[in-house]
Chains A and B, each alone.
Chain A
Amino acid sequence: MNTRSKVIAIIAEQAILEPKDVTDDSTLESLGIDSLGLVESIFAIEEAFDISIPFNANDPTGGDFDISCVASIIAGIETLLSKQS
């Protein structure tokens, strides 16, 4: 499974949706993921990719990691993975 499909699977599971219903331009809000769901998704992504995502729930939109939509989350993970390797 590539990065994209892994991330979509994680987000879909959190949103209780089928992966096909999660698209690049979906926002977490539009998928019905609340603040707790967001923190859980970040955790699941960190575990799946063995990375550390800079994310503070007090300022979800601050920091370098862009969570505004699914595509930006995937891009952020790819950046972290490339830095790691």
Chain B
Amino acid sequence: MKRVVITGAGTINALGASVPETLAAMREGRCGIGPLEFRDVERLSIRIGGQVRGFDAQEHFNRQQLSLFDRFTQFTLIAAGEAIAQAGIEFSDELAARSGVVLGTAGGGVSTWDDNYRSVYEDGKNRVHPFVVPKLMNNAATSHVSMEYNLRGPTFTVSTACASSNHAMGQAFCMVRSGMAPVMVTGGSESMLCFGGVKAWEGLRVMSRDACRPFSLGRNGMVQGEGAGVFVFEEYEHARARGADILCEVAGFSMSSDAADIVMPSKQGAARAIAGALTDGRISLDEVGYINAHGTGTTANDKTECAAVADVFGAHADRLMISSTKSMHGHLIGGTGAVELLACIMALRDGVIAPTIGYEEPDPECALDVVPNVAREADVSVVLSNAFAFGGLNAVLALRRI
């Protein structure tokens, strides 16, 4: 079995258009959630979200590219560009033939669906742009990264709702660890902040109208975000041989299915995934210093997640920190685990634990150290990232300082 390390990271999300901007915002506990701005927003009852603001796609892409790139693909390419530049790696010959891309997204080109349905249903048009299908397909972003960087090995998209990115990164990890691929570009992206995207979520009645307050008494639901997070996962010796700056090690991964309910989370399913990641990475309970929680801000998730952590860690649950950065960047659905992995890397490299902002009052059902409102300095050597999706699909990654 090979060791797997991260040698590049990139992002764009409501907190910033790069990793340094995003980490600075997380350190400051800044909130990227605000009033949504798009067509027909006045017909929604949910009008807040973690939107990427001040983003001009034309500054990044030409006209021909824009006819093929949905917003989720645009975000992916921007994040991938930052990650691959940081890794300082070029893909050619044998390396290109064996390296690939695995990315997560739940909805793919949601605004492309939305715009074109509007055009044919509302505006009564009978003709759509020829590239609607290649623009909206869930694997569009993955394929464009593959084309842009000459990645010719195993390449596909994973779609497991809110766990998509963690499942994708787990796949990339397993592929590098097994020796199948020397390098994998991985992470995820989402852009559902358009009228149809938010309207669909509104129906479920789990969205907050004012703020995402994970673990806080009186929390009233989730808030959506958008953006992408992309990483370069690389075989350790390969990274060392070329003198790459190693951000951290990917130490373990586990996934589980609740096999119970299509929306309600299960403590047992979450606990099995958390415990599984520890076993996989041969990590002892007391090594874990920080968990980046799924922490959606719904009543059901947060109490179930805390109960699962308490079950797995026993007495050590009271000594570790657990925070939800969704309070700042919103829930990026299929891209969320990727952006949240940045908080994990910051904890390991910079010794800064991102806070759970918007925290008002302790909830006895979430009685863990949730790092309320203010970032904290701490020396941690192993961290976890939780993702628990609708459909009962759970994926947990473990990272280790190197």
Chain B, 219-235, CB within 8 A of any chain A CB: 219-221
For chain A, give the interface size range: 10 to 19
Q: Type the 1/0 row for A23-55, where 1 means its CB is closer than 8 Å to any CB of B.
A: 000000000000110010011000000001001
Between B205, B206, B208, B298, the greatest number of chain A beta carbons within 10 A of the residue's beta carbon is seen for B205
B220 proximity list for chain A (CB < 8 A) = 56, 58-59
Contact B205 A39 (CB under 8 A): yes
In the bound assembly, the distance between CA atoms of A59 and B303 in angstroms comes to 13
**CB-CB contacts of A47-71 with B at 8 A, as 1s and 0s?**
0000010011111000000000000
B206 touches A58 (CB 8 A): yes
Q: Which of B203, B205, B263, B300 contacts A56 (CB 8 A)?
A: B205
Interchain CA distance A52-B44 in the complex, whole Å:
12
In the complex, chain B residues whose CB is within 8 Å of the CB of A39 = 203-205
Q: Is the CB of A55 within 8 A of B205?
A: yes
**Complex formed: what's the CA distance from A39 to B207 in Å?**
13
Interface residues in B55-86 by Cβ distance below 8 A to A read: none
Q: Does B378 contact A (CB under 8 A)?
A: no
Q: How far is the CB of A67 from chain B (nearest CB, A)?
A: 12
| Contact yes or no, B299 A36, CB < 8 A | no
Query: Is B263 touching A36 in the complex (CB atoms < 8 A)?
Result: yes
Measured between alpha carbons, how far is A56 from B297 in the docked complex, in Å?
A: 13
* B221–A58 CB distance below 8 A: yes
User: A39-B205, A43-B203 are contacts. A58–B262 as well, Cβ < 8 Å?
Assistant: no
Contacts of B221 in A (CB 8 A): 56-58
Select the residue from B203, B220, B262 with max chain A CB neighbours within 10 A: B220
Interface assignment of B402: CB less than 8 Å from any CB of chain A: no
- Checking A36, A42, A58 against B298 with a beta-carbon cut-off of 8 angstroms, the contacting residue is A58
Q: Which residue of A lies closest to B218 (CB)?
A: A59
Closest residue of chain A to B207 (Cβ to Cβ) is A56
Would A57 and B262 count as touching, CB distance under 8 A?
no
* Residue B97 interfacial (CB < 8 Å): no
**Is residue B264 contacting chain A, with contact meaning CB distance below 8 A?**
yes
CA distance A37 to B204 in the complex (A): 11
A52 neighbours in B (Cβ, 8 Å): 45
Interface pair B262/A36, CB less than 8 Å apart: yes
> Chain A residues with Cβ under 8 A from B208's Cβ?
56, 58
Given A35-B264, A36-B263, A59-B299 contact (CB < 8 Å): yes
C-alpha spacing A69/B204, complex, angstroms: 21
Chain B, residues 296-315, CB within 8 Å of chain A (1/0): the string is 00111000000000000000
Contacts of B219 in A (CB 8 A): 58
Instruction: Kindly report which residue of chain A lies nearest to residue B219, judged by CB atoms.
Output: A58
Bound Cα distance A55, B221 (Å): 12
CB atoms of A57 and B264 under 8 A apart: no
CA distance A35 to B4 in the complex (A): 42
Complex Cα–Cα for A35 and B205 (A): 11
For residue A14, give the distance in angstroms from its CB to the closest CB of chain B.
15
Within B243-280, the residues touching A (CB, 8 Å) are 262-264
Beta-carbon nearest neighbor of A53 in chain B: B205
CB contacts under 8 Å to A, within B183-233, are 203-206, 208, 219-221
Contact B262 A42 (CB under 8 A): no
Determine the distance from Cα of A56 to Cα of B299 in the docked complex, in whole angstroms.
11
**Residues in A whose Cβ lies below 8 Å from that of B262:** 36
Using Cβ atoms and an 8 Å threshold, which residues of chain A touch B205? 39, 42, 55-57
Q: Which residues of A contact B204 (CB under 8 A)?
A: 39, 57
Q: Which 6 A-B pairs have the closest CB atoms?
A: A57-B205, A58-B299, A58-B221, A58-B220, A57-B206, A39-B205
- Give 18 new A-B contacts, CB below 8 A, not counting A36-B263, A57-B205, A58-B298: A35-B264, A39-B203, A39-B204, A39-B205, A55-B205, A56-B205, A56-B206, A56-B221, A57-B204, A57-B206, A57-B221, A58-B206, A58-B219, A58-B220, A58-B299, A58-B300, A59-B220, A59-B299
What are 29 residue pairs bridging A and B, where the CB atoms are less than 8 Å apart in the complex?
A: A35-B263, A35-B264, A36-B262, A36-B263, A39-B204, A39-B205, A42-B205, A43-B203, A52-B45, A55-B205, A56-B205, A56-B206, A56-B208, A56-B220, A56-B221, A57-B204, A57-B205, A57-B206, A57-B221, A57-B298, A58-B206, A58-B208, A58-B220, A58-B221, A58-B298, A58-B299, A58-B300, A59-B220, A59-B299
Interface set of B (CB-CB < 8 Å, partner A):
45, 203-206, 208, 219-221, 262-264, 298-300
